[in-house]
Amino acid sequence: MLLLSFALLIVIIFIILIAVFRRVLNQNVIMATKHLEELNEDYDKKEKEIDKRLEEAKRAAEELVVRAQEEVEKEKLRIIKEAETERDKILKEARAGGEEMMQQADKSRQLLLSELDERIAKEAVNKACELIQHTLPEQLKQDIHSQWIKELTEASLNQISLLHLPEDLHEINVTSAFSLREEERKGLSKKLKELLGRSVTLKEDIDPGIVAGVVVTIGSVVLDGSLKNKIKEQAESIEDGNG
């Protein structure tokens, strides 16, 4: 009977242990399940947070791409505008440079033509004087020479009175086609003394190239009463009339 009671006690204790063990086990399972649910919720929460951040990052990236594209387009338009402005500037400068070159070329051409015309006119006058010098009779040239010296003495030298000449001027150059006769020399000296108010010395030079007449040089003033100058003046007058 004691043995049976002991066995029954053992069975009861075993049942109690099993019940306690099941309860502890159930509690552990419940706790583990709850923990798993919490982990799952936390995982879902973190997954949503990650998805949210990914979505925000995606939107930010798209905004950066759009902004970068806009900046690239703006920079492209700016570069194109600057290139067009620079092109227009280069074209304008090139056009201005071309026009300036054309103007300079035209000026050079006009200057060259003017120099050629002047040289031709000068050569023509020299050639005309040379022909006249070899064609006119010597006596006729001397008569013209004497007549123009007389005219120069009586009229042309009066221009000196209107000029401001140096006070220390005592020598005057006279270039003559022929040697001055004594009366011509005295007449010139007398006239110059009257006009200048002092005696002067005549320095004479002979130049058959002026054909007839004289060239009187008083300081920086030149009174040209030569046939060569008359021909030159007449040629210029004809040329101006034609122009």
Q: How many helices (H) and strands (E) does the chain have?
A: 4, 4
The one-letter code for the residue type at 8 is L
* Residue whose tokens read 């500037």: 89
Q: Which of 51-65, 82-96, 115-129 has the lowest mean pLDDT?
A: 115-129
Residues 141, 99 share a domain? no
Instruction: State the average pLDDT for the chain.
Output: 79
- pLDDT score of 205: 93
Count of domains forming the chain: 2
- The pTM of the whole model exceeds 0.85: no
pLDDT tens per residue, range 171-187: 889 999 889 889 988 88
Find the length of the chain.
243
**Would you put residue 219 in left (φ > 0), alpha (ψ -120 to 50) or beta?**
left
User: Given 91, 120, 135, which residue is the final one in a domain?
Assistant: 135
Residue 96 domain flag: yes
Residues 201, 124 share a domain? no
State the Cα–Cα distance between residues 147 and 156, nearest whole angstrom. Answer: 13
Residues 168, 106 share a domain? no
Residue 24 domain flag: no
pLDDT tens per residue, range 58-76: 888 788 778 878 887 888 8
Q: What average pLDDT does this structure show over 96-120?
A: 75
- pLDDT score of 204: 93
Domain extent for 93: 47-135
State the Cα–Cα distance between residues 173 and 44, nearest whole angstrom. Answer: 125
Residues 148, 59 share a domain? no
In 3D space, the residue among 163, 162, 154, 212 whose CA is nearest the CA of residue 187 turns out to be 154
Residue 11 domain flag: no
> Is the confidence at residue 240, as pLDDT, over 70?
no
- pLDDT score of 173: 92
Q: What average pLDDT does this structure show over 136-142?
A: 81
Q: CB count, 10 Å around CB of 10?
A: 10
> Is the confidence at residue 18, as pLDDT, over 80?
no
Confidence of residue 239 (pLDDT cuts 50, 70, 90): low
Q: What average pLDDT does this structure show over 124-141?
A: 75
> Is the confidence at residue 168, as pLDDT, over 60?
yes
For residues 122 and 62, which has the higher predicted lDDT (pLDDT)? 62
Ranked by mean pLDDT, which of 111-115, 137-141, 184-188, 229-233 comes out on top? 184-188
Q: What average pLDDT does this structure show over 26-37?
A: 72
> Is the confidence at residue 243, as pLDDT, over 60?
no
State the Cα–Cα distance between residues 224 and 217, nearest whole angstrom. Answer: 8
- pLDDT score of 112: 74
**Would you put residue 166 in left (φ > 0), alpha (ψ -120 to 50) or beta?**
beta
User: Given 135, 156, 171, which residue is the final one in a domain?
Assistant: 135
State the Cα–Cα distance between residues 199 and 232, nearest whole angstrom. Answer: 33
Residue 149 domain flag: yes
CA distances from 202 to 3, 154, 159 (A): 185, 17, 18
Residues 80, 147 share a domain? no
Q: What average pLDDT does this structure show over 132-140?
A: 78
Residue 78 domain flag: yes
Residues 165, 131 share a domain? no
CATH of the domain at 212: 3.30.2320
In 3D space, the residue among 62, 84, 227, 61 whose CA is nearest the CA of residue 142 turns out to be 227
Share of the chain above pLDDT 70, in %: 86
